[in-house]
Structure 1
Amino acid sequence: MSGQLTQRIDDLAAEFAELEPRERLELLLEFSEKLPPLPPEFAEQRDQQLGRVQECQTPVYLWTDLVDGRVRIVADVAPEAPTVKGFVSILVELFSGVSPDEVLTAPGDLVQRFGLVDALGMVRMRGLQAIAHHIRRKVAAQMST
């Protein structure tokens, strides 16, 4: 994992660590507002259930591709799930623009690093982990094509 991505993850983890569980949720809600809107060219795919992360109970849609050797992530999350949307926004912010290798070697325990287990519970934690693993699988598949 590159030093830059490591530093970004560490900085964000430190920011979350300074907060009480309720404040962590508030920060997650702030991140939910930062998720870029779904580009129109992806709306039809979403409407056809393409790109859906099946392992997550919340409707989460993710598309990844490589642009000039860098990862690009487009995502859409149901508005009634702002905590999930916040975590997806964090993943998009962390992993967009980095190399595929950086995504694949990033820590798999981001939910725990950000102290979200206490704030969200185990069931939601599993769903959030599934989203991160989904991104890794998609990036790995694109590297092999």
Structure 2
Amino acid sequence: MTEQTTGALPPQLAELVDDFASVGPKDRLQLLLELSRELPELPERYADAADTMEQVHECQSPLFLAVEVDPDPERRVHLFFSAPPEAPTTRGFASIMHTGLDGEAAGDVLAVPDDFYTALGLAEAVSPLRLRGMAAMLARIKKQVRAATAA
């Protein structure tokens, strides 16, 4: 990832990218699994994920997400994810998105490069199909942010 691309990442997401870059391939998978345990529980309003959230069909495991954008001038983004405990890779990807993007301004979320996840160095640890799922998560997040900010 170029310096220009890294500069486009919100601070928390850039920190995660650095964390992954600082360890070897086997430790990256372990870091992803640790992050999977940090994914926050859903608030009550999203208890029925299948009815209240958008499914990311590209993910190998059932993953649902919802995006809320504050009406304030900063247009802060809030992310909510539902993924089963038996899907640690998917939960890990969702946790990266949550940790790196939740609470950021809408413009900063939209500025994240679509391929930022390549800098995590997970290509050696997980299948290309799983990486496409992560790309799809970011695409859905951006789509929902655009819809919310256009209204």
Fold conserved (TM > 0.5)?
A: yes
Q: SS at 2:79's partner residue?
A: strand
Deviation sequence 1:90-137 (CA, Å, 0-9, x none): 101111111111010112122211101111021111111111111111
Which ranges of structure 2 fall in alignment gaps of 5 or more residues? Answer: none
Query: In the alignment, is residue 90 of structure 1 matched against residue 113 of structure 2?
Result: no
The answer to whether 1:37 aligns with 2:41 is yes
In structure 2, give the amino acid aligned to 1:64.
V
Matched with 1:55 is 58
1:23 is aligned to 2:30: no
- 1:15-50: per-residue Cα shift (whole Å, max 9, x none)? 111222221011011111111011122112x14374
Q: TM-score, normalised by structure 1?
A: 0.89
* 1:13 equivalenced with 2:17 (yes/no): yes
Residue-pair matches, total? 143
Given that 1:111 and 1:117 are in contact with CA atoms closer than 8 Å, whether structure 2 keeps it comes out as no
Corresponding residue of 1:123: 129
Larger helix share, 1 or 2: 1
Structure 1 residues 107 and 42: CA distance shift in structure 2, 3 A: same
How far apart are the structure 2 equivalents of 1:85 and 1:106? 20
If the length of structure 2 is used for normalisation, what is the TM-score?
0.85
Unaligned runs of 5+ in 1: none
Q: Helix, strand or coil for the counterpart of 1:90? A: helix
Q: Is the 8 A contact 2:12 2:99 kept in 1?
A: no
Q: CA RMSD in A?
A: 1.9
Q: Over residues 31-75 of structure 1, what are the superposed CA-to-partner deviations in whole Å (9 max), with x where a residue is unaligned?
A: 11111011122112x143742112323111100011232001111
